């Protein structure tokens, strides 16, 4: 179904929100329907099919059932790509994520299963399918940088190490989840005022994972691996929080790293709205209104 001139693009979590907007914009930017073969990843097949209908059922968009928290689902989706779509990808956009304001042991395990471990497993299965000069885009968040800023100096040093490994990130994640479960997170993030620490911590880990995988894969097929923050957008993920911007702007932020010439991007780095962001930075948002919004929605 694919030709050598087509870009084959997979967007996970694309049945709504920012992922859906990414696919809308990919369709708008194509001069013809043959420019991109787009796989609309959706955990729920029916919701994916509904999203396809909302898009007008374009012939170059196909629903791919993919639950990024399930290795079985990821393996099945990988086989489907091989059997139906030529077994090759040019761009993988890891957009699927979950969030919660609650910071319980169960919440921590669920969030990291999707936002960190799930992306690790997706990349493990799909990296062999990425073509020469392909791209892997991990959708992270600026809250991950805020969370890292609020961690102890010792943990910050580990996360920022130039020799950081996936195994070391796994260890940091395990410690984080354990601290949530035992209500000792203050030993990792003393005096933090951030909300939704499980979500924030998962994005700290994802941004770090991006750096590690970029370093590991830099010599393999010249693949670019970057993370990107779509900004604080109005989606179901944050209950359409106060002061949020349109998800279409989040999609623009993601598509910048998809379409910008590789020479103008740095492998392993973290971007938002076309600008490179630091791995760690102080929170710039007034959290009081968000706390009230979270309590109202609880």
Please write the tens of the pLDDT for every residue from 31-42. 544 589 999 999
Q: Which residues are catalytic?
A: 199
Whether 58 maps to a domain, the answer reads yes
pLDDT at 29: 81
Closest CA to 139 of 12, 276, 281, 235: 12
User: Could you tell me the residue range of the domain that residue 197 belongs to?
Assistant: 7-293
| pTM check: above 0.85 | yes
Query: Exposure of 253 by Cβ count < 10 A (0-12 exposed, 13-18 middle, 19+ buried)?
Result: buried
Q: Report pLDDT digits (tens) over 95-115.
A: 999 999 899 999 999 999 999
Residue 254 token pair: 């993601």
pLDDT at 246: 76
Q: How open is the CA angle 48-250-122, to the nearest 5 degrees? A: 50
Closest CA to 111 of 10, 244, 203: 203
pLDDT at 243: 60
HSE toward the beta carbon, residue 131, CA cutoff 13 A: 15
Alpha-carbon 6 to chain mean position: 24
pLDDT at 31: 52
pLDDT at 217: 83
CATH value at residue 38: 3.40.50.720
pLDDT at 220: 75
Whether 50 maps to a domain, the answer reads yes
Q: Which residues pair with 275 in a beta bridge?
A: 272
Total domain count for the chain? 1
Whether 1 maps to a domain, the answer reads no
Low-confidence ranges of the chain (pLDDT < 50): 1-3, 32-33, 290-298
Whether 270 maps to a domain, the answer reads yes
**CB distance 88 to 134 below 8 Å:** no
Whether 2 maps to a domain, the answer reads no
pLDDT at 3: 45
């Amino acid at each position: 179904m694919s030709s050598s001139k087509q870009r084959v693009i997979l967007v996970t979590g694309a049945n709504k929100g920012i992922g859906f907007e990414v696919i809308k914009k990919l369709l708008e930017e194509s001069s013809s329907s043959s420019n991109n073969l787009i796989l609309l990843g959706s955990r729920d097949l029916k919701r994916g099919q509904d999203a396809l209908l909302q898009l007008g059922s374009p012939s170059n968009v196909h629903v791919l059932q993919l639950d990024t928290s399930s290795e079985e689902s990821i393996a099945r989706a990988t086989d489907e790509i091989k059997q139906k779509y030529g077994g090759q990808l040019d761009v993988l956009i890891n957009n699927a994520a979950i969030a919660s304001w609650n910071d319980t042991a169960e919440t921590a395990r669920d969030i990291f299963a999707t936002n960190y471990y799930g992306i690790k497993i997706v990349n493990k299965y799909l990296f062999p399918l990425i073509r020469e000069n392909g791209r892997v885009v991990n959708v992270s968040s600026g809250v991950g940088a805020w969370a890292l800023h609020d961690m102890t100096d010792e943990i910050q040093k580990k996360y920022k190490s130039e020799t950081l490994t996936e195994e070391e990130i796994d260890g940091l994640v395990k410690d984080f989840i354990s601290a949530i479960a035992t209500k000792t997170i203050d030993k990792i993030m003393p005096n933090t005022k951030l909300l939704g620490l499980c979500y924030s911590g998962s994005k700290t880990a994802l941004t770090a994972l991006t750096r590690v995988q970029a370093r590991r894969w830099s010599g393999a097929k010249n693949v670019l691996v970057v993370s990107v923050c779509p900004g604080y957008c109005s989606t179901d993920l944050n209950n359409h929080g106060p002061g949020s911007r349109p998800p279409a702007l989040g999609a623009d932020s993601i598509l910048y790293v998809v379409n910008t010439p590789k020479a103008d991007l740095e492998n392993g780095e973290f971007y938002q709205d076309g600008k490179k962001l630091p791995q760690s930075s102080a929170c710039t948002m007034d959290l009081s209104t968000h706390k009230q919004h979270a309590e109202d929605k609880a």
